[in-house]
Amino acid sequence: MAGIYIHIPFCKQACYYCDFHFSTSPKYKDELLQAIIKELRLQKDYLAGETIETVYFGGGTPSLLSADELTQIISEVASLHTISHNPEITLEANPDDLVKEKLQSLRQSGIKRLSIGIQSFFDEDLLWMNRVHKGKEAESAVKRAQDMGFENITADLIYGYPLLTDEKWKYNLDKMFALGIPHVSSYSMTVEPRTALASFIKTKKQQPMDEWQSAEQFILLMDAMQAHGFEHYEISNFCKPGAYSRHNSNYWKGVKYLGVGPSAHSYNGETRQWNVANNAKYIAALVRSEIPAEMETLSETDRINEYIMTSLRTIWGLDLKKLEKIATGSTAELNKSSVEFFEKGWLSQKEDTLSLTQTGKLYADHIASSLFFN
């Protein structure tokens, strides 16, 4: 089984914190969609005949596409690959795009799962982020989607930014629980270089993020999710039993995937490649029937470190037997470097699997990087 990620690089306006590749001008949308179709054809052998289990439309804001445009891309994938019996086909969507008519057409397009970018239910917070929608609009969009028969829904929330008090954070979580959404992705606000937020902080128009606030709100998040029967199956992802994101879970499990569109990444177990993050250059290359990507062959050390980083983020943990298959002797080296984290209570071990404890999840990146092989 494998997955396909399709990057749609268009947004109505730029969120201040976002560093993904996107454009607020839809000027070349038709040309870019044709280029995506062309890349799918040129890349049809990248996954070596693997059955496609998941298709994920990310961005940007892929809900800006019409149902017909989405259907065209999905149909092209189906014509080039064998699709599993029950594929997970996900569309990232902004609440303001999910009007009744759009939802009706999406039901006919092949989209089976919606990933709704709520971020907050407070208008002042959404304005601070420069989001397009309002809090009430987010709530209404979820209810409309449910009324239209979309049961497989995930929603995003952000924590750890100056306007978000603990009381507001608890309200956001309670609102999410009340809506009956089976999957939640939640991220700490990070300040990425070359974003508007980074510029605002540098010029003292905004205060820096508070790491202690972020840690405390992450703990509140974990406790609330557990109390409401959600599984914390990846650092930033929670779901009701069985409602995992198959597409993202496969990333963390090292399953092959093809990324199509400007800035999209691909991975086939041995190599990783990434497309140019420029719409005009991407389109021009595909007009010439060229794949606009750079590629690297993963060394043994790369594959070890990637497995450490991704596996420790998940409920399934790091399988020492799998690590040993990547490189003989790697388990012994890992055991030495992990001693301090067991002593601090940040790591636990059950049989041949290492996992982060709840406290350890606060230090996930630090632990992973400390365990990396040189």
> Which residues are paired to 183 by β-bridges?
154, 239
Same domain, 236 and 314: no
Q: Is the same domain home to 59 and 186?
A: yes
210 and 190 in contact (C-beta within 8 Å)? Answer: no
pLDDT of residue 6: 98
What is the reported pLDDT for 72?
97
Q: Name the DSSP class of 355.
A: E
Please indicate, yes or no, if residue 161 is contained in any of the structural domains: yes
Domain boundary among 236, 252, 268: 252
Give me the pLDDT at residue 26, please: 87
Cα-based angle 147, 113, 67 (whole degrees, multiple of 5): 80
Q: Which two tokens mark 138?
A: 């987010």
For 227, what's the count of Cα atoms within 13 Å in the CB-facing half-sphere? 10
pLDDT digits 0-9 by tens, 64-77: 999 999 999 999 99
Number of domain units in the chain? 2
**At which of 195, 225, 252 does a domain end?**
252
User: Which DSSP symbol is given to 52?
Assistant: E
Are residues 189 and 333 both part of a single domain?
no
Residue 124 maps to a domain: yes
Over the stretch 211-238, which tens digit does the pLDDT of each residue have?
A: 999 999 999 999 999 999 999 999 999 9
- The answer to the question of residue 140 being in a domain is yes
In a domain, 272, yes or no: no
The last residue of one of the domains, among 252, 286, 316, is 252
Same-domain status, 312 and 204: no
Q: Is residue 219 part of a domain?
A: yes
Q: How many helices (H) and strands (E) does the chain have?
A: 15, 15
Q: For residue 153, what are the domain limits?
A: 2-252
Residue 66 counted as domain residue: yes
- pTM for the predicted model, two decimal places: 0.96
Q: Does residue 350 sit within a domain? A: yes
Same domain, 246 and 342: no
Contact (CB, 8 A) for 238 and 184: yes
In a shared domain, residues 46 and 116? yes
Q: Are residues 157 and 219 in the same domain?
A: yes
Q: Does the N-terminal peptide bond of residue 60 adopt cis geometry, omega within 30 degrees of 0?
A: yes
Give the domain CATH number at 103: 3.20.20.70
Q: Read off the CATH number of the domain in which 334 is found.
A: 1.10.10.920
Check residue 27 and give its pLDDT: 85
Do residues 64 and 209 both lie within one domain?
yes
Q: Are residues 97 and 37 in the same domain?
A: yes
For residues 220 and 314, membership in a common domain is answered with no
In this prediction, residue 148 carries a pLDDT of 96
- Domain membership flag for residue 36: yes
Specify burial of residue 152 (Cβ count, 10 A radius: 0-12, 13-18, 19+): middle
Domain match, 177 and 54 both: yes
Residue 254: HSE in the Cβ half-sphere, 13 Å Cα cutoff: 22
Residues 242, 333 within the same domain: no
Instruction: Name residues of the chain where pLDDT drops below 70.
Output: none
